[in-house]
Chains A and B, each alone.
Chain A
Amino acid sequence: MEDAPAVKMIGIVKRFPGVVANDHVDFEAKAGEIHALLGENGAGKTTLMNILYGIYRPDEGEIYIRGQKAHIHSPKDAIALGIGMVHQHFHLIPTHTVAENIILGMPGNFFFPLERVRDEIEQLSDRYGLHVDPDAYVWQLSAGEQQRVEIVKALYRNAQILILDEPTTMLTPGEVQELFEVLKCMADEGKTIIFITHKLEEVMEISDRVTVLRRGRVVGSTNTADTSVTELARMMVGEQEWGEIKLPPREKGRVVLEVRNLQALNDKGVMALQGISFTIREGEILGIAGVAGNGQKELVEVITGLRKASSGQVLLDGEDITNCPPGEIIQKGVAHVPEERINMGLAPNMSVLDNLILKHHRREPFSTNLLLNYRYAKQFADERIREFEIITPSKYTPAKLLSGGNIQRLILARETAGHPRLIVAAHPTYGLDVRATDYIRRQLIEQRNRGVAILLISEDLEEIMCMSDRIAVMFEGKIMGIMDAHEADINTIGLMMAGVRPER
């Protein structure tokens, strides 16, 4: 079986509640090749590789490693088959040294063979140019160094097939080049490298072959030399048949939200918003396209008061609301459909009723003085449940027991209740099924038609294209361009999402 591919996955199906993450996916990678797995977030790339690494069990399908049928039930089985995986979020223990992290979980003698580990780390370092200090503590290391530790960890376990999940997201450009050298060196030795990414330029630069996934299905698999950035962008995003949802034309109203030269830091203290400016008028949807992690989250948080802006201004109806407390911003009419719908959008253990009145419970008629008016709240909840077709056993059911689509309906039912001026909707249909997606989109458009300004953040280009009056593309904390929706074409947006400025 010398010609058998290193990895062959046939007909892989993986379902999560409400979503098919992998829909009969076939995947093949040979020894000695760098194989890029390309797709938007949510396309099913990571799920597929987590199946290969034994973290998930497939519902259907077979895996062959070097021609042998493999039964991979846990990462342990995968490691035994010579598969290693470097996750997007590193599996390292920060308070341990590099050597301790590498040795963790290895069978063998009771005492810690520090000398041997040092030797082997040094050998690996020399062979691949992976420089790591075995005695350094992981918390002292940069992201790039931590990644090297992860790679050494996999190699130490004799990995022949190495999966890297979005390995360049946290690296500096210099570190990316170093990583690419290492990967090429490993491929030359006959190892298989599977490289998960959504960055087109990286695919062109590093990979020998590329497989494109979209919405859980394989769109195509080709030699990198035979394709182009434009073609890959089209495969990744798709040529969709949108247009069923039509935006009725509207007179332009007054400016509701104005963002002026906004800057903010992310959780790591790095500048995540580098001077963002835009306006949204009454009855207008501004869609923000872009790959997650380019500052969208920070933008939403600054507008809703959850994150401090370091400079710049947010104006609502001409009034400065920059760095106001969230409660005040809510009072002024900003509704928020958050990205993390369960953790941020709900109090999961509380009932549907409680969650529906959550933002309104301090105001009349929901409460008078100290006491809640439950008679009114019940009536309100019944109305909202009926109107938004929320499927729930009763209004007293804990909200966390609802399906994703119904949770989103609940949040929307609450957020639209107070006649907001602005709705900030972050990934409102992410992970929802077709019916729920359609419903949520129609509801948002309904709000727009009533004159509400909407900031729509989504990675789903189809959604952005069919719902927006204007489209902005964000990349690395900047807006690459804002255009009217009817002038926008998918190729331009796809390139801007990858950081390429359109040539005009």
Chain B
Amino acid sequence: MLEFLVEALRAAIPAGTPLLFGTLGEIYVERSGILNLGVEGMMIMGAVTGFSVALTTGNPWLGVLAAAIVGGLLSLIHAFVSITLRGNQVVSGLALTMFGVGLSGLLGRRFIGTPLPAQAKLVGIRIPVLSDLPILGPLFFQFDPLVYISILLVPIMWFILYKTKLGISIRSVGEDPATADAMGVNVFGIRYLCTFIGGVLAGVGGAYLSIVYTPSWIEGMTAGAGWIVIALTIFALWSPLRAILGAYLFGGVKVLQYRLQPLGISPNLLNTLPFILTILVLMAATREVMRRRIGAPSALGLPYSREEK
């Protein structure tokens, strides 16, 4: 039993890592008042870019970097449409997803079936003694570096959001851009910055899938991970600390799909679990009392312009 638990947890963390990257990014985006439904598109473009660059250069880190850049650039399309042009953010985000999924299929066609050579993979670290500990070793000291980077990002991003002036500005812009503007905060600048951060992290999340998790390119390989990220952002109630719990929980659900299938539990049913949990959380969080404390950013999805009163 213990063995099963350790193994499940060990599997849940890498499965949840791409979700964690995407969710941390989307939390910043939404905290600044922008809704980016293009996460799926940015992730899959990150996956195909990361894979192709890692394959051609033989360096996984260059792949991750390229994926980050592509994710960031794609997010700027959304930023331009929704911040500068004040377009409809839902439409723009959905368009970005469709664009990314379609383009990645085209670009990745020649990589299908090509495995990543060993030196282009990111493998688990080995720390003498620590990695060999029973239970603790596999649970804490055998993952690849990106897992540790994503975990490290959680407190850093939480700290910035709650303990720095930049963080207050971000949250203010998402709550009440008019007030933030009146207090001298650069509303457009903050929103562009956050949307870009979201794109970068979504790209990295995608690269994790194609370079580490399933080191290969499969068309449509994100398989809805971007949508789970959107749900997770709500599930985490826009907090980086809750995001890590949610990401590993949903990662665990993904792993369980395969483990529980022999027992007759439908994987399709388990697939819906993240969304059902999200709806439950949303129902609890929209109660009047809770909303004031931990509700969605008030200005989420609303374009801001100074002239309109």
Contact = CB atoms under 8 A, between A and B. Distances in A.
A79 B183 CA distance: 9
Given A100-B168, A139-B292, A93 B176 contact: yes
B204 to A, nearest CB: 24
Interface stretch (A107-115, A344-352, A476-484): A107-115
Contacts of A109: 165
A95 B165 contact: no
Given A92-B179, A104-B183, A111 B292 contact: no
A52 B184 CA distance: 17
A95 B175 contact: yes
A496 B164 CA distance: 52
B285 to A, nearest CB: 13
Contact of B292 (A94, A100, A110, A112): A94
B175 A93 contact: yes
A100 B173 CA distance: 13
Contacts of A270: none
A111 B172 CA distance: 16
Interface in A213-239: none
Given A91-B182, A104-B185, A105-B169, A111 B176 contact: no
B171 A95 contact: yes
Contacts of A108: 165
Contact of B163 (A76, A112, A139): A112
A103 interface: yes
Contact of A103 (B165, B179, B295): B165
Contacts of A95: 171, 175, 292-293, 295, 298
A212 to B, nearest CB: 27
Contact residue range for chain B? Answer: 20 to 34
B166 A110 contact: yes
A108 B185 CA distance: 13
B172 A93 contact: yes
A107 B185 CA distance: 10
A103 B164 contact: no
B139 interface: no
Contacts of B295: 95
Contacts of A100: 168, 171
B153 interface: no
Main SS of the interface on chain B? helix
A1 interface: no
A92 B182 CA distance: 11
A92 B166 CA distance: 17
A112 B162 CA distance: 9
A341 to B, nearest CB: 16
Given A95-B171, A96-B171, A110 B183 contact: no
A112 B293 contact: no
Nearest to A108: B165
A106 interface: yes
Interface string B183-215: 111000000000000000000000000000000
Contacts of B183: 75, 91, 104-105
A103 B180 CA distance: 11
Contacts of B167: 112
Nearest to B306: A74
Size band of the interface chain A makes with B: 20 to 34
A47 to B, nearest CB: 13
Given A76-B184, A91-B182, A96-B175, A111 B163 contact: yes
A121 to B, nearest CB: 15
B182 A75 contact: yes
A96 B172 contact: yes
Contacts of A137: 292-293
A17 to B, nearest CB: 13
A250 B155 CA distance: 78
Contacts of A79: 184
A92 B168 CA distance: 13
A103 B171 CA distance: 13
Contact of A104 (B178, B180, B293, B298): B180
B292 to A, nearest CB: 4
A344 to B, nearest CB: 17
Interface in B265-309: 292-293, 295, 298
B175 A112 contact: no
Interface in B191-243: none
Given A75-B182, A92-B179, A111 B165 contact: yes
B185 A105 contact: yes
B184 A105 contact: yes
Contacts of A94: 175, 292
A136 to B, nearest CB: 13
A100 B163 CA distance: 9
A112 B179 contact: no
B174 to A, nearest CB: 9
Contacts of A107: 184
A106 B169 CA distance: 10
A112 B184 contact: no
A94 B182 CA distance: 16
A469 B182 CA distance: 47
A137 B180 CA distance: 17
A110 B165 contact: yes
Contacts of B171: 93, 95-96, 100
A105 B172 CA distance: 10
Contacts of A96: 168, 171-172, 175
Given A91-B182, A95-B292, A95-B293, A106 B175 contact: no
A139 B176 CA distance: 14
A112 B166 CA distance: 9
Given A76-B184, A93-B179, A95-B292, A104 B163 contact: no
B168 A103 contact: yes
Given A91-B179, A110-B166, A111-B163, A104 B172 contact: yes
B164 A110 contact: yes
A112 B164 contact: yes
24 contacts: A75-B183, A75-B184, A79-B184, A91-B176, A93-B172, A94-B175, A94-B292, A95-B171, A95-B293, A96-B168, A96-B172, A104-B168, A104-B169, A104-B185, A105-B185, A106-B165, A109-B165, A110-B165, A110-B166, A111-B163, A111-B164, A112-B164, A112-B167, A137-B292
Interface of B: 163-169, 171-172, 175-176, 178-180, 182-185, 292-293, 295, 298
Closest 3 CB pairs of A and B: A105-B183, A105-B184, A91-B179
Interface of A: 55, 75-76, 79, 91-96, 100, 103-112, 137, 139
Given A104-B172, A139-B292, 6 more contacts: A93-B171, A93-B172, A93-B175, A96-B171, A110-B165, A137-B292
